[in-house]
């Protein structure tokens, strides 16, 4: 499949996230991940979809991948922290919350 197919799946997933259809968003974003596994934006969006589905272990995996691909991505650190917090790892979550604050710009 082409790069445009990955973009189409990513765009569809984002639209579904906006409408809070997390399960369908996850399906579209899983398709995008299969096509573009090294795109941090895809991994982060898929983490958001999994959080919406309350699938915290899978959300943690996706946000961790996004952090690996983009170590200064504050939102990826924030998502990873939220997933870790939901999974009961408050110590590691606190580290990622701190990193998220360090890397976020324009926070009020």
Q: Taking residues 34-52, what's their average pLDDT?
A: 97
Q: Taking residues 18-43, what's their average pLDDT?
A: 97
Cα→Cα distances 107→63, 74, 102, Å: 20, 11, 10
Chain-centroid distance, C-alpha 33: 11
CB 79 within 8 A of CB 48: yes
d(CA 87, CA 96): 14
Q: Higher confidence at residue 103 or residue 24? A: 24
Quote the pTM value. Answer: 0.91
Mean pLDDT of the chain: 94
Q: What percent of the chain has pLDDT over 70?
A: 94
pLDDT band at residue 86 using 50, 70 and 90 as cut-offs: very high
Which residues lie below 8 Å from residue 38, measured CB to CB, with a gap of 6+? 69
Domains and CATH numbers, the chain: 3-103 (1.25.40.10)
pLDDT for 105? 60
d(CA 11, CA 15): 6
């Amino acid at each position: 499949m082409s790069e445009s197919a990955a973009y189409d799946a990513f765009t569809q997933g984002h639209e579904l996230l906006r409408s809070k259809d997390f399960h369908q968003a996850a399906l579209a974003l899983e398709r995008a991940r299969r096509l573009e596994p090294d795109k941090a934006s895809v991994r982060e969006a898929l983490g958001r979809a999994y959080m919406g589905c309350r699938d915290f272990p899978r959300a943690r995996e996706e946000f961790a991948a996004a952090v690996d691909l983009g170590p200064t991505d504050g939102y990826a650190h924030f998502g990873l922290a939220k997933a870790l917090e939901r999974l009961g790892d408050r110590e590691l979550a606190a580290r990622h919350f701190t990193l998220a604050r360090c890397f976020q710009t324009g926070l009020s």
